[in-house]
Amino acid sequence: MRVKAVLFDLFDTLLLIRDGEAFYMPSLKRLHEFLVNNGVNVDFEDFKRVYFEVRDKLYGEASKNFEEPHFNVRIFHTLQRFGYKFEVSHPIVVGATMAFADEFMHFVCLDEDAPYVLQKLHGKYKLGIVSNFAIPECVYNLLEKFDLKKFFDLVLVSGAINKRKPSPQIFTKALESLNVSASETVFVGDTPRMDVAGPKAVGIKAILIQRKHSATDTPQSLTWKPKEEPPVKPDGIIRSLKELPLILKDC
C-alpha cells in the first residue's frame, strides 16, 4: 500500500542535542535560580537530590504505564517535599519549568538536512511529529525557532497528552488525527525501543536513523534504568535524513 504519512521523532532525528546530557545541570541550575528569585529558599544540592528522586520515581512508573506527566508535576512534587504548597499550574511552578526549557534550548541545533528533506516530503505526504518530551511548550517553541512548524500537519508531544512512546495510544492517536491507516504510515526515529518497537507494534513501518552520538528519550539515572527488551528489526536504516526520500519509495 502506498505511503501517505510520515511521522518523525524530534530529538536526535530532526533536532540534535549537543553533547548528550550536558544540558541537564545548566538547565536545572537555571530552574533553581528562578525558584530562589521567587522566594523558594532551598539549597541547590538539596533541591537537586530531591528533584532526581522525584523524576526517577515518575520514570519508573512511566516504564509500566507509559504515562508522561507534564514537567510541572516534577516541580510540584519536588517543592512539596520542601513544604511549599504551590498548585501544578501556579506561576512559580510554570515559570520554573520554562526556565529549564529556555536553558535546554541553547543545547539544541537543527540537523542540516532537515529543512531540505521536509521541503521535499511536504505536500507529497502528510507529515507529523510524535515526540517524548515532558515540556510540550518547549517543543512548540523549538519548531518556531527553526521554522519547522509549517511542514507539519500534526505535532504530538507526550507531555501534552500524558502518553509516551512506545505506548500504542500515542501512535494510534497520531493515525486518527491524520486520518491514515497504520499500513499507510512510516515512522522515522533514532531510538530502537521507542521509535522502532513502538510503531511496529501497531503496524506502522519504522525507519531507524543511526546517529554516532544520540541522547536517549529517557535521561540517564543512577536509581532507575529502562527495562531491557529484545531488539525489534527496523524496516529500514538510514545514516542521514537525506537518505529518507529514496528509502520511502521502497516502503
pLDDT tens digit sequence for 160-185: 999 999 999 999 999 999 999 999 99
- May I ask the CATH class of domain 5-16+109-248? alpha beta
Q: What is the pLDDT of residue 41?
A: 95
- Residue 20: pLDDT band with limits 50, 70, 90: confident
Q: What is the pLDDT of residue 224?
A: 44
Residue with cell 520554573: 96
For residue 72, the SS3 value is helix
- Residue 52: pLDDT band with limits 50, 70, 90: very high
For residue 128, what are the CA distances in angstroms to 9, 158, 169, 188?
9, 14, 15, 10
pLDDT tens digit sequence for 201-247: 999 999 999 986 555 544 554 444 555 566 789 999 999 999 999 99
Q: Which residue has the higher pLDDT, 60 or 30?
A: 30
Contact (CB, 8 A) for 88 and 72: yes
pLDDT tens digit sequence for 186-196: 999 999 989 99
Tell me the pLDDT of the chain averaged across its residues. Answer: 92
Q: What is the pLDDT of residue 217?
A: 46
Q: List CB contacts of 138: < 8 A, sequence separation 6 or more.
A: 98, 101, 104, 105
pLDDT tens digit sequence for 61-100: 988 899 999 999 999 999 999 999 999 999 999 999 999 9
CA nearest to 160, candidates 145, 175, 176, 173 = 173
Contact (CB, 8 A) for 231 and 206: no
